[in-house]
Amino acid sequence: DTGVSQDPRHKITKRGQNVTFRCDPISEHNRLYWYRQTLGQGPEFLTYFQNEAQLEKSRLLSDRFSAERPKGSFSTLEIQRTEQGDSAMYLCASSLGFRGAGEGNEQFFGPGTRLTVL
């Protein structure tokens, strides 16, 4: 399967614990995005990488959240001191594009990681 993969698919944790999610994008894609989706809502943007550089962060991304893409390939999203309000589906997407070109390229989404904070 050459699509976007995410691991784990489900995570149940207790409030206050740290969790880390992984995303493997489509191999030739240089852009990687993280979104959060809660029940009854569309995905909301969290952060965006072009290669290894984190270029944009949403105000939704509190200081308890951190994302990395160290080698410009896979990415991790860590949530520290989880809260019940962090319960959501975390979606990763990737695309191919360069500034001024390919801005209209579609993003390809992974299956998501469903986080439940007890």
* Site of interaction with other proteins (CB under 8 A): 4, 31, 33, 40-45, 47-48, 50, 55-56, 58, 91, 93, 99-100, 103-104, 106-112
38 — phi, psi (to 5°)? -105, 165
Say if CB 4 and CB 108 are below 8 A apart.
Answer: yes
- Residue 9: how many CA atoms within 13 Å on its side-chain side? 4
Least Å distance between CB 81 and other proteins?
25
Min separation Cβ 67 and other proteins, Å: 12
Residue 62 to residue 78: CA distance in whole angstroms? 11
Closest approach of other proteins to the CB of residue 31, in Å: 7
Residue placing its CB nearer to other proteins in the complex, 8 or 16: 8
Smallest separation (angstroms) from other proteins to the CB of 26: 12
User: What is the C-alpha to C-alpha distance for residues 110 and 34, in angstroms, rounded to an integer?
Assistant: 10
For other proteins, the closer of residues 72 and 111 by Cβ is 111
Closest CB to other proteins among residues 14, 104: 104
Q: What angle do CA 3, 60, 100 make, to 5 degrees?
A: 55
